[in-house]
Amino acid sequence: MLVGGLVYPRLAAGAGAAWVLGRVVYALGYTRVGGWNVEGRGRFSWGGFYVAAVSQVLLGGLVGKVGWDLLGE
């Protein structure tokens, strides 16, 4: 997030916030037991996982883009 944020600060901040939100949603879904989520790890936690995973890939892509741009100079 730091490296990507040097060139793309708003995109990196948004992806970082989405990553944090996804991890919180995942943790809540993973640890809550009750109702349809009898054994934990219910569908709610998987949604948080996907949000965090996509934002992490986006942050990695930003780092790659910054590195690619530096090689071109």
Name which of 32, 26, 35, 36 is nearest 56 in CA terms.
26
Q: Tell me what pLDDT residue 36 has.
A: 61
Taking the model in full, what pTM does it have? Answer: 0.81
Judge residue 66's burial from the number of C-beta atoms within 10 Å of its C-beta, 0-12 exposed, 13-18 middle, 19 or more buried.
Answer: middle
Cα dihedral 17→3→54→28 (10° resolution): -40
pLDDT value for 37: 60
The per-residue pLDDT for 56 is 95
Distances (CA, A) of 73 to 9, 19, 51, 60, 67: 20, 31, 34, 21, 10
**pLDDT one digit per residue (tens) for the chain, 73 residues:** 999 999 999 999 999 999 999 999 888 887 776 666 656 666 667 788 899 999 999 999 999 999 999 998 7
Domain segments of the chain as ranges: 13-72
